[in-house]
Amino acid sequence: MVVTELLERNAKKYGNEVALVELNPEEKDPRRTTWKESELIEPSRFEPYRREITWSVFDEKANRFANMLLSRGIKKGDKVAIIMYNCLEWLPIYFGILKTGAIAVPFNFRYDADEILYCAELAEVDMIIFGPEFIGRIEENADRLGKNRLLIYVGDNCPNFAESYHELVADCSSVAPDITLSTEDDAAIYFSSGTTGFPKAILHKHLSLIQAAEMEQRHHETGRDDVFLCIPPLYHTGAKFHWMGSLIAGSKAVLLKGAKPETIISSISSERCTIVWLLVPWAQDILEAFDTGKINPDDYHLSQWRLMHIGAQPVPPSLIAHWRDYFPNHQYDTNYGLSESTGPGCVHLGMENMHKVGAIGVPGYRWECKIVDENGQTVQQGEIGELCVKGPGVMTCYYNDEKATAETLKDGWLFTGDMARQDEDGFYYLVDRKKDVIVSGGENIYPVQIEDFIRKNDKVKDVAVIGFPDKRLGEITAAIVELKENARMTKEELDEFCMRLPRYKRPKEIIFESIPRNATGKIEKNVLRKKYGTENLVAKETTF
């Protein structure tokens, strides 16, 4: 079975039930008002922007798009890129691409014009689907992007260098194209975060996609009555493959635009969401809003919310302990993975293992794990080494990059570049990125351990520890610290707080400023290294 068959099954079994909701509480929808006929329309009284589609409409839209692609010469094995913000059109377009046997190629919506061109050429893209927010970036290289490529625009007022999605699909058949797909067919290309330069193209088969769907549903026991709130961008493996638990279950999902605490909490309440995947900064912001009284959780309908799972970076145990102060009955999970392993889940904590908060968990459904030394030999339990994973969700290769593929895939094992250890109960703990490790005076220092400690300070909102070059020691530790709103702290105070750390782990430099994070919530240490003149080190994109 491939994931397109799941969509077709849902359209037959649950056709009239809502599949997807697009919600933007920060934007008002003039089509939906709360005014009475006798009153004048007041914009402040318009309801939040909200659209929805049923499973049958979802499938019909995917079929129309697939048939449009076929009519324009797209065939099995061709590549079709998507660069759009989350919206109701995103997933039907993605599934329409898959139904033709073509390869879906989601682009990071933060790419600038040159990165879009680079990725289009690296992945040998045949068509680009883009939304209104990307007109300028596409137009900048329109001559080169449009050479031997089709440019399709999703939105109103189509630019003259592209063709209109809505006009093209309007007269296309809503019947599924007669194309046979197997789990061994190529399905999608995702891109690494590009923290060492331009991104790598990660090729996955249909096997990876169905594995991710089945794993997500099993890990979180997603059922027909669940409602999944999806906040991160759909171009990212984490967002899409967490959503696929809903695809397996045939249950509703909400695509939320905006990540402010009020936006998240009000959406959970209004849409009766039961499963929410948060990034660490969003969870921190929600807790801060509760703590300061900006949000009173008792004002919202949250009793149906059963599971909060989290990831995209190591999760401070103190955060989860504080979360339990407000939500003592919540189930919790953390999910670890990489884009090279079809996103999160190759290691996961498991909802039943709350007592092991701090660990990334145990091997996920159908996955194997091991920890190896620099020679590729398995280390003793408890020792630190590189985490390797193996399973049906491992990438086929880095597309058009044999050297990088050979360095990362060895005998079916994916070498993650993450340093980890395993405890006596078989749970894995992430220590740090292999290339984030700071070597100071011959001593290995793992930044995550220092970051977790500093986050325990009540005034600290976020922290990133990087290495600064030092003539004597090679590197010294530097802590970039972001304080909570209205909090005040001196370097001397933080120095005193860190006295409980072993001497060699204490930050030698302390800088107070905001922490840069990417669209999936990961700290952009490469940005900090570049700012402070240190070496750009990180290699792969790790997701949780």
Contact 250, 204 (CB under 8 A): no
Predicted pLDDT at 400: 94
Q: Which of 235, 498, 426 is nearest to 343 (CA)?
A: 235
The span from the CA of 284 to the CA of 290, in Å, is 10
Query: 80 to each of 123, 163, 191, 262, 420, how far by Cα in Å?
Result: 9, 15, 14, 36, 37
Domains 3-181 and 445-543 in one fold: no
pLDDT-derived band at 46, boundaries 50, 70, 90: very low
Q: How far is residue 139's CA from residue 162's CA, in Å, rounded to a whole number?
A: 9
**For residues 188, 194, 197 and 199, what is the CA-based torsion angle, rounded to 10 degrees?**
0
CB contact set of 376 (below 8 Å; sequence gap of 6+): 410
pLDDT at 544 over 80: no
Band of residue 537 on the pLDDT scale cut at 50, 70, 90: very low
Confidence of residue 299 (pLDDT cuts 50, 70, 90): very high
**According to the model, what pLDDT value does residue 192 have?**
83
Counts for the chain of helices (H) and strands (E), in that order: 16, 28
pLDDT at 226 over 90: yes
- State whether residue 54 is helix, strand or coil: strand
Which is more confidently placed, 83 or 531?
A: 83
Mean pLDDT of 334-353: 92
| Average of per-residue pLDDT values in the chain | 89
Rounded to whole angstroms, how far apart are CA atoms 195 and 110? 13
Compute the average pLDDT of residues 253-266.
94
CA-nearest of 131, 144, 135, 325 to 234 is: 131
Q: What is the reported pTM?
A: 0.82
Per-residue pLDDT, 519: 64
CA angle 91, 256, 460 (to 5 degrees): 130
Rounded Cα gap, residues 367 and 363, in angstroms: 5
**Of the candidates 367, 375, 477, the residue with the CA atom closest to the CA atom of residue 428:** 367
| 434-454 tens-digit pLDDT | 677 787 765 678 788 898 889
Band the pLDDT of 158: cuts 50, 70, 90: very high
Asked if 506 and 499 touch (Cβ cutoff 8 Å), the reply is yes
> Is pLDDT above 80 for 7?
yes
What average pLDDT does range 167-172 have in this prediction? Answer: 95
pLDDT at 442: 59
pLDDT at 166: 95
Look at residue 194 in the predicted model and tell me its pLDDT: 52
Please state the rounded mean pLDDT for residues 335-343: 90
| 16, pLDDT greater than 50 | yes
Quick one: fold of 3-181? Rossmann fold (3.40.50)
Exposed / middle / buried, residue 196 (Cβ in 10 Å: 0-12, 13-18, 19+): middle
Q: At what angle do helices 237-249 and 90-99 cross, to 10 degrees?
A: 80
End-to-end CA distance of the chain: 26
| pLDDT tens-place string over residues 174-220 | 999 999 999 999 999 999 865 445 689 999 999 999 999 999 999 99
Starting at the edge strand found earlier in the chain, the sheet holding 186-191 runs 163-164, 150-153, 127-130, 79-83, 103-106, 186-191, 201-205, 397-398
Q: Residue 26's pLDDT band (boundaries 50, 70, 90)? A: confident
pLDDT beyond 90 at 361: yes
- Is 185 within 8 Å of 78 (Cβ atoms)? no
Q: State mean pLDDT over 503-520.
A: 85
pLDDT of residue 440: 79
Among the residue ranges 205-219, 319-333, 421-435, the one predicted with the least confidence is 421-435
- Residue ranges of domains in the chain: 3-181, 209-433, 445-543
Q: Are 269 and 305 in contact (CB under 8 A)?
A: no
505 against 299, higher pLDDT: 299
- Between 206-220 and 3-13, two packed helices, what is the crossing angle to 10 degrees? 60
Structure tokens at 75: 């065939």
Query: In the numeric block, which tokens belong to residue 514?
Result: 């905001």
Exposed, middle or buried by CB within 10 Å (0-12, 13-18, 19+), for 282?
A: buried
The mean pLDDT of 212-241, rounded to a whole number, is 94
Average pLDDT over residues 305-333: 89
Question: What does the pLDDT read at residue 525?
Answer: 81
Residue 426 Ramachandran class (φ > 0 left, ψ -120 to 50 alpha, else beta): left
Report the alpha-carbon distance of residue 120 to residue 114 in Å, rounded.
Answer: 10
Could you report the per-residue pLDDT of 478-499, keeping only the tens digit for each?
999 999 988 999 999 999 999 9
Contacts of 76 (CB under 8 A, 6+ apart): 100, 101, 102, 179, 185
pLDDT cut 90: percent of the chain above it:
70
User: Is it the case that residue 247 has pLDDT exceeding 60?
Assistant: yes
Distance CA 68, CA 89 (A): 15
Residue 542 has pLDDT above 50, yes or no: no
Percent of the chain with pLDDT over 70: 90
The reported pLDDT for the residue numbered 40 is 36
The CATH number assigned to the domain with range 445-543 reads 3.30.300.30
Residue range 466-480, pLDDT digits in tens:
888 876 677 889 999
Asked if residue 145 lies in contact with residue 100, where contact means CB atoms within 8 angstroms, the answer is: no
**CATH number for the 209-433 domain, one of 3.40.50.12780, 3.30.365.10, 3.30.200.20, 3.40.50.11810?**
3.40.50.12780
Q: How far is CA 152 from CA 69, 86, 169, 252, 473, in A?
A: 10, 17, 11, 28, 54
